[in-house]
Structure 1
Amino acid sequence: MIYPQNAVEKLGYTEIKALIQQKCLSEAAKEMVSKIQPQVKLELIDRYLRQAKEFRDLLQHDAPLPVDHIYPIKALIEKAKVEGAFLFEEEFHRILLSLRTVYAIIRYFNDREQQYPHLELLFEHLPIEKNIVRSIEQVIDERGKIKDNASRLLLDLTQQISKSEQEARKRIDSIYKQAQQNGWTADGSLTIRDGRLCIPILAENKRKLKGLIHDESATGQTAYIEPEEVFHLNNKVRDLEFEKRREIIRILTELTSLLRPHVPLLLAYHGLLTKLDFVRAKALFALDIDAEMPELSKEAEIRLINAKHPLLSLAAKQEGHAQVVPLNLKIDATDRVLLVSGPNAGGKSVCMKTVGLLQLMFQSGLLIPCDPTSKLGLFKQFFADIGDDQSIDSDLSTYSAHLSKMKYFTQFANARSLVLIDEFGTGTDPQFGGPIAEAVLEVLNKKQIRGVITTHYSNLKLFASHTEGIENASMLFDNTAMKPLYILQIGKPGSSYAFEIAQNIGLPKEVLHLAKQKIGVQQKKVDTLLVDLEREKKEVYDTKQAINLREREMLSQQTELNSLKAYLEENKQKLLKDAKEEARQIIKDANKLVENTISEIKQVKADKEKTKTLRFGLHKAAESLTEKKKENPVKAQAVAADESIEIGDWVKIIDTGNEAQVIEIAKNNLILALGDLRTVVKKTKVEKLRGKEKAKAVKKSRPISAESVADFHPEVDVRGMRTEDALQKLELVLDRAVMIGYPSLKIIHGKGDGILRKFIRDYLRKYNHVSRFEDEHADRGGDGITYAYMD
């Protein structure tokens, strides 16, 4: 229930519905929009919201829905219900186009089964009755005219008419030429009079040509005569045309009779088109205002995060103004009522109207401009006191109108009521208006109502500060720049900044001085205290924001440090294990070499030259074990001079000769990937690989198996994903395609506004292994799909 009824207009709800109606393609959908009302069943609201969200996602990320022909066919279907009635050719053509649209829509969603489950509910169990379309197509052509071969008789009559017309034309041309030769004709050529082809004859010669005079010129000098011979031929054509018309009516009547048993199904089709048009309009409007679907709650609560007034957002977009300042607030069982104070033109009323309008839209199944983490509940009553409702007819003053609403609120409000009051208590002497407003607020608070109330009265601010369930809030004001900030701050009342604003406007100093002397000392102290509190709280808020930013930076650094320690610990154990294994292998090889050498010495019976040769070989093997250490200083110097190592580069570890890829850079350290192993190495201990060496390292680190090629799918679907996630997924698939040598990749990103497509193609241009890319064929998705080809 909404009280009073004009509250929907004052909150802007009527204007919202008018904007949605502009998005509709059919009158039936516009009528549905006009009947939108707030709902009180959570399941119904949830379904409406999800339908709008799914359609919005469809418009953004999927191929366009085929809604080219949505005609108002309900009246035609009702006409076809009447026994003996028939539809005209153009009416059948409209039904044909509408049915084709319906079937295209059903096929569209069948191809995307379970992708839009709540939209699919709109046409659940609706069959595609192709016989209806087939029957109409046999009679009506693509121009909406009846086909000449709709029946044998119609075809025969059409041919006879054509033949008779040709004969009549041929005959009148012959008579006309003869009359011209005789000098009987006037200037001009054959002309139409009364639907008949006539010859212009000079008045003095009209008795010389037998025939029917249909007309004469304004001067009377020319008579328009249809020759007697042609007259009989034209009559024959006219008779044939009447017969053809009777045959057409017979065919249309027969076709209408074939349509009549399908009237219930046709009405269901009409309902589907209307509902889809209706949901489409809601989704298009949601895109205009950047709307989202908030979380739903069964409780009477409101938690708005970065919410904006939709009408203000639209106006700002159209006029190119700065962005609307978002609103953040919470109304629940603990803080039931927000008492908003602050300067004039500071945004108090806009704050209150935003809450009321967004709640009305939400309960009407409309997406709202806020973060999706916002949470809204259910209210069964909406009470609003906004503006001046004085009435001469009802003998109501401004204050009387306010009081009559307060009377209604206090009688019928409850815990499921959302109460919105603007400038509470105004309209009468503040000395009496303030206490009355405080008493009304106390009664409403006892009834556990939820609401937003704006005021300038100090007694109400004081009452809220020590009353459970009522929370003070204020609209921030920059008292240095003397301008409102339009930011809602919960927890404290706000000053009206009356003297500051008056001084800024330029009110004479003597007037301000007199005014300050006239206000009470206590009131002046309270207002000064509020101003000081607001300034101090702003400073505290700014400091807190800076501290929070610093804390986030420190947490990020701590996480990075812990990650680095984990890498070091993990690789320390791995390297020790590898080193021990390598040492064992060296000892084993050395022992084997020594044993072989001793054996060969024995075989040559300690021959001096042979023994010398064998000892030299043993010495060379020993030297080879330390050869790499001697090379390290030279290579280290070369690498130190190379400062171009970046993430993704391939390097060679000088100490071990292993090849690895750089996955992170931390000052002078590199975090490298050795297959599944991670290690940390100084920049000076690596050598950057280029050209063929890099290609060999990549190939060696990623061995390709037959199984990996078989498992690879050269297609990636990123529709509905955020740009960052989409590019990350694309990078993984592209890397694997390059690794296994796959020639091309199909990327499905949808059309929408083309933003995701732009980022993907920019990324492909920078990817070294992509030689070119192109759109899919127009019949199979067009620029909603990109093919990338690898070199």
Structure 2
Amino acid sequence: MLYPDNSADKLGFTEVKELIKAHCLSTMGQQMVDKIQVMNNFDLIRKFLSQANEFKNILQNDVALPINHFFDIKSLANKVRIEGTFLSEEEFFQIQTSLTTVFAVIAYFNEREGQYPNLEALFEHLPIEKSILKKIDMVLDAKGKIRPNASRELQDITSGISKAEQEARRKIDHIFKSASSSGWTADGSLTIRDGRLCIPLLAENKRKLKGFIHDESATGQTVYIEPEEVFSLNNRIRDFEFERRREIVRILTQLTDELRPYVPLLLSYHGLLTKLDFVRAKALFAIDVEGVMPVVVNEARLRFINARHPLLFLSFKKEQKTVAPLNVQIDEGTRIITVSGPNAGGKSVCMKTVGLLQMMIQAGLLIPADESSTAGVFKQLFVDIGDDQSIESDLSTYSAHLSKMKHFVEMANGKTMILIDEFGTGTDPQFGGPIAEAVLESLNHKKVRGMVTTHYSNLKIFSSNTEGIENASMLFDNVQMKPLYQLEVGKPGSSYAFEIAQKIGLPPQVLNLAKNKIGFTQKKVDTLLVDLEREKKEIYDTKVQLNRQQKRVDDLLTENEKLKSYLEENQRALIRDAKQQAKDIITNANKLVENTIAEIKNNQADKEKTRALRENLNREAQKNTVKTEASAAKQIADEEIRVGDWVKLTDSNTTGQVMEIAKDNIIIAIGDLRTVAKRKRVQKASRKEVPKEIRRAGTSASSTSDVAGFSPEIDVRGMRGEDALHAIEKLLDRAIMMSFGNLKVIHGKGDGILRKLIRGYLKKYNEVSHMEDEHPDRGGDGITYVHLK
């Protein structure tokens, strides 16, 4: 699978395992970490990744899993197997504590059945044998000590010891007081010697008290005597203690015999604890490196998005620095990526990141990348990094490289990933380059996947002209002369040898001499690469600016289309109303004429009656006579315009509502849009002249559907400053028209640049009363509340 054997060390996988081991609670978990291997079984890889991902979810989003104590109960279970052996109190306490943890974990997952299926599979069909705990609980207390009443015999012995100790204490206290009153004792009180309670006597008085001398002071002036009466009682206590020990051994042996049938189950519990400790350590490491589970496919391909080297990420994290993310794709179309660029530009780190992350995935470890990344499965991983010259094997640097290339060419296939650093180096470039090119061509012919780094121009040219191989370069700021550590696929990179040498301060005459010594073609290629990179950056900056301008144009076109649609609808509504009014007038007029004719006929054309009917016709006609447009306009124009009035633009007949008056300028709301017009271009309109559709669109009080559909909240995280301000301005306009009291702007914390930009912008609006942060528990200064007047 891995070639050579030290590939894990070369890529940093061994260091990753050591960091995971540091999170283990038990030696069993650490031993399991040591056994982590790169796998090629797709189902196993997916299962182990899912387990780590589920445990990570528990640690971050759920109640803590009740895992506090892990002990090696496997060795204890193996000890129980042997007839005649017994476990000590401490060993039984370890089993008791471990089983309590096991049962608590199983209960935890039973409460969340189906939520963590891959972790639940760890104890599937595992019985909960609580009788083991009950047996131990009858013998041990909560501190792991033998209960005084573990058996009737032990209870009697404990009681006998207690009574004998009380009697011995009472007697020695009586003798000590008597000796003290006689002046026989030395300064001090009762003391312990050889585990016995003794009386300190002056040496000259030692014959006055019968007993056993256990010790004397350094000066010989004080002796420590155990009185004769107490000596026999203490011996009796000692006998009781021996009996107690024998009874405890008997109880522990009996308990061990009772546990012997459960040895296979204890081993299963041990396996569960070990796996939990192991998966927990992987999840904690994933949290440290911000690891996620990518999309896993059973194909020899990968697509890493915003990937970071885990070891570099942890190192930079301590220094409060960030790692430049890596975006790379290797598939059937782009099988091998040839990375070139300046020295110390990050080529090797880029390649090692790809190799290490792929190893982590195939070992069941979460990786620091976007969840949308895709990781495949490779059957073999071949690595050629560093100098593997060997004196013992008589291998030079180049010989070591060639031996690896031989293995690569012979053993690699379409499911192999190769990683080769500084391809072709170690010998004369005139010969090393063509050999490397031939090896690369052979590997490409076998559909091998992978990455190589090089400075050789012939490999760059070959990669540009060969299907399946793609050039890539590490970007370099040729103005400030520093690497950017960003991979750009599609073109080779210059080594910037002369530029870097010039920045370091190599004398100009040396540089000129070097330039004259290199071939004209090589100089031309390198210069072309530098110029291409510079032009690429200029094009990219121009593209960004054009995209920003195009977005602004698109927004204006959208607003224009909305306004056009609104005006067309307004015109259609006016025509419909006018037609309906004309139809009603004609209908009423016809009825009136018919009635008048009928009346004249009935009255036989009486002159007075006819005149009265004619006057009635004139009155009805005057009712439906429309005033001239000029007189109506003059009458309305003479009226004073106030905020809230409906007005009409004289040059377009567009109707809207006055939002604000500033000297000669009037701010008018036309539906969701606002415009500014001079006072002389505006005349007041009556509400009858304003179509219902416009009134509904222009006033928040009469538009329940508009208000219901309006949200006074906006999330501008990830937007550029200009786009965020544009979106906030549109929201503020609608909020003012609908009389909302406040807005909620979610801009995130970061470095606070976007927050300062937004707040500075909103301060220019007179309608904004004040702004404040969200509560610290709900986002703090990552959210701004904007209060409106």
Query: TM-score band (shorter)?
Result: 0.7 to 0.9
Q: Which amino acid aligns with 2:364?
A: G
State the partner residue of 1:741.
none
Q: Which amino acid aligns with 1:478?
A: D
State the partner residue of 1:217.
217
Task: Quickly say closer, same or farther: Cα 1:361–1:233, change in 2 above 3 A.
Answer: same
State the partner residue of 2:453.
454
String of CA shifts for 1:46-86, please: whole Å, max 9, x gaps.
Answer: 11111111111111111111111222222112212222221
Aligned ranges for residues 636-785 of structure 1 at < 5 Å?
A: 636-637=644-645, 640-641=659-660, 673-675=703-705, 758-759=777-778
Aligned ranges for residues 384-403 of structure 1 at < 5 Å?
A: 384-403=383-402
The separation in 2 between residues aligned to 1:578 and 1:197, in whole angstroms, is 117
8 A contact 1:636–1:684 mirrored in 2: no
Aligned ranges for residues 285-434 of structure 1 at < 5 Å?
A: 285-321=285-321, 323-434=322-433
String of CA shifts for 1:441-482, please: whole Å, max 9, x gaps.
Answer: 111111111110000011111111111111111111111100
SS in structure 2 opposite 1:153?
helix
The separation in 2 between residues aligned to 1:202 and 1:582, in whole angstroms, is 134
Residue 392 of structure 1 deviates from its aligned partner by 1.2
Q: Are residue 53 (structure 1) and residue 53 (structure 2) matched?
A: yes
Aligned ranges for residues 616-627 of structure 1 at < 5 Å?
A: none
SS in structure 1 opposite 2:424?
coil
Residue 182 of structure 1 deviates from its aligned partner by 2.2
Aligned ranges for residues 509-520 of structure 1 at < 5 Å?
A: 509-520=508-519
The separation in 2 between residues aligned to 1:101 and 1:380, in whole angstroms, is 39
Q: Which amino acid aligns with 2:384?
A: D
State the partner residue of 2:136.
136
Aligned ranges for residues 184-583 of structure 1 at < 5 Å?
A: 184-321=184-321, 323-552=322-551
Residue 506 of structure 1 deviates from its aligned partner by 0.2
Which deviates the most, 682-691 or 258-267? 682-691
Residue 320 of structure 1 deviates from its aligned partner by 1.5
SS in structure 1 opposite 2:443?
helix
- Alignment identity in percent? 60
The separation in 1 between residues aligned to 2:641 and 2:180, in whole angstroms, is 116
8 A contact 1:567–1:678 mirrored in 2: no
State the partner residue of 2:127.
127
The separation in 1 between residues aligned to 2:581 and 2:236, in whole angstroms, is 112
Residue 567 of structure 1 deviates from its aligned partner by 8.9
The answer for unaligned runs of 5 or more in structure 2 is 585-622, 624-634, 646-656, 662-666, 673-685, 711-731, 750-773
Task: Quickly say closer, same or farther: Cα 1:473–1:763, change in 2 above 3 A.
Answer: closer
Task: Quickly say closer, same or farther: Cα 1:670–1:549, change in 2 above 3 A.
Answer: farther
SS in structure 2 opposite 1:493?
coil
8 A contact 1:640–1:683 mirrored in 2: no
SS in structure 2 opposite 1:636?
coil
Residue 380 of structure 1 deviates from its aligned partner by 0.9
Task: Quickly say closer, same or farther: Cα 1:563–1:208, change in 2 above 3 A.
Answer: farther
8 A contact 1:655–1:685 mirrored in 2: no
Residue 315 of structure 1 deviates from its aligned partner by 0.7
8 A contact 1:672–1:678 mirrored in 2: no
Residue 149 of structure 1 deviates from its aligned partner by 1.6
The separation in 2 between residues aligned to 1:412 and 1:684, in whole angstroms, is 68
Task: Quickly say closer, same or farther: Cα 1:518–1:761, change in 2 above 3 A.
Answer: closer
The separation in 1 between residues aligned to 2:472 and 2:143, in whole angstroms, is 65
Q: Which amino acid aligns with 2:329?
A: K
The separation in 2 between residues aligned to 1:549 and 1:92, in whole angstroms, is 71
The separation in 2 between residues aligned to 1:579 and 1:196, in whole angstroms, is 121
8 A contact 1:639–1:683 mirrored in 2: no
Residue 640 of structure 1 deviates from its aligned partner by 2.9
String of CA shifts for 1:249-297, please: whole Å, max 9, x gaps.
Answer: 1221222222222222222121111111111111111111111111112
SS in structure 2 opposite 1:206?
helix
8 A contact 2:336–2:469 mirrored in 1: yes
TM-score by length of 1: 0.75
String of CA shifts for 1:93-146, please: whole Å, max 9, x gaps.
Answer: 121111111111111111111111111111112232222222222221111111
The separation in 1 between residues aligned to 2:35 and 2:286, in whole angstroms, is 18
String of CA shifts for 1:384-429, please: whole Å, max 9, x gaps.
Answer: 1111111111111111111111111111111111110100111111
8 A contact 1:639–1:687 mirrored in 2: no
Residue 582 of structure 1 deviates from its aligned partner by 14
Which deviates the most, 72-81 or 160-169? 72-81
SS in structure 2 opposite 1:383?
strand
SS in structure 1 opposite 2:389?
coil
The separation in 1 between residues aligned to 2:777 and 2:12, in whole angstroms, is 37
Q: Which amino acid aligns with 2:704?
A: L
TM-score by length of 2: 0.76
The separation in 1 between residues aligned to 2:734 and 2:381, in whole angstroms, is 72
Q: Which amino acid aligns with 1:640?
A: M
State the partner residue of 2:609.
none
The separation in 2 between residues aligned to 1:644 and 1:128, in whole angstroms, is 75
SS in structure 2 opposite 1:226?
strand
The separation in 2 between residues aligned to 1:490 and 1:558, in whole angstroms, is 36
SS in structure 2 opposite 1:640?
strand
Task: Quickly say closer, same or farther: Cα 1:679–1:3, change in 2 above 3 A.
Answer: closer
Task: Quickly say closer, same or farther: Cα 1:222–1:767, change in 2 above 3 A.
Answer: farther
Between Structure 1 and Structure 2, whose CA radius of gyration is higher?
2
Task: Quickly say closer, same or farther: Cα 1:683–1:762, change in 2 above 3 A.
Answer: closer
Aligned ranges for residues 79-90 of structure 1 at < 5 Å?
A: 79-90=79-90
8 A contact 1:123–1:272 mirrored in 2: yes
8 A contact 1:639–1:686 mirrored in 2: no
String of CA shifts for 1:673-727, please: whole Å, max 9, x gaps.
Answer: 52489899x9999997799xx9xxxxxxxxxxxxxxxxxxxxxxxxxxx999xxx
State the partner residue of 1:750.
none
Aligned ranges for residues 582-621 of structure 1 at < 5 Å?
A: none
State the partner residue of 2:42.
42
The separation in 2 between residues aligned to 1:252 and 1:136, in whole angstroms, is 10
Task: Quickly say closer, same or farther: Cα 1:268–1:306, change in 2 above 3 A.
Answer: same
8 A contact 1:636–1:685 mirrored in 2: no
The separation in 1 between residues aligned to 2:295 and 2:315, in whole angstroms, is 27
State the partner residue of 1:76.
76
User: Aligned residue pairs: how many?
Assistant: 660
String of CA shifts for 1:626-663, please: whole Å, max 9, x gaps.
Answer: xxx99996672597349999x99xxxxx959x9x9xxx
SS in structure 2 opposite 1:367?
coil
Which deviates the most, 254-263 or 269-278? 254-263
Task: Quickly say closer, same or farther: Cα 1:64–1:342, change in 2 above 3 A.
Answer: same
8 A contact 2:301–2:375 mirrored in 1: yes
Task: Quickly say closer, same or farther: Cα 1:494–1:179, change in 2 above 3 A.
Answer: same
Task: Quickly say closer, same or farther: Cα 1:569–1:186, change in 2 above 3 A.
Answer: farther
Q: Which amino acid aligns with 2:339?
A: V
The answer for unaligned runs of 5 or more in structure 1 is 586-621, 623-628, 649-653, 695-721, 725-754, 769-791
Q: Which amino acid aligns with 2:484?
A: L
Residue 23 of structure 1 deviates from its aligned partner by 0.9
Q: Which amino acid aligns with 1:225?
A: I
Residue 223 of structure 1 deviates from its aligned partner by 2.0
Q: Which amino acid aligns with 2:359?
A: L
8 A contact 1:161–1:240 mirrored in 2: yes
Residue 580 of structure 1 deviates from its aligned partner by 12
Task: Quickly say closer, same or farther: Cα 1:686–1:158, change in 2 above 3 A.
Answer: closer
Q: Which amino acid aligns with 1:136?
A: I
The separation in 1 between residues aligned to 2:230 and 2:254, in whole angstroms, is 36
The separation in 1 between residues aligned to 2:269 and 2:565, in whole angstroms, is 63
State the partner residue of 1:608.
none
The separation in 2 between residues aligned to 1:576 and 1:118, in whole angstroms, is 68
The separation in 1 between residues aligned to 2:26 and 2:254, in whole angstroms, is 29
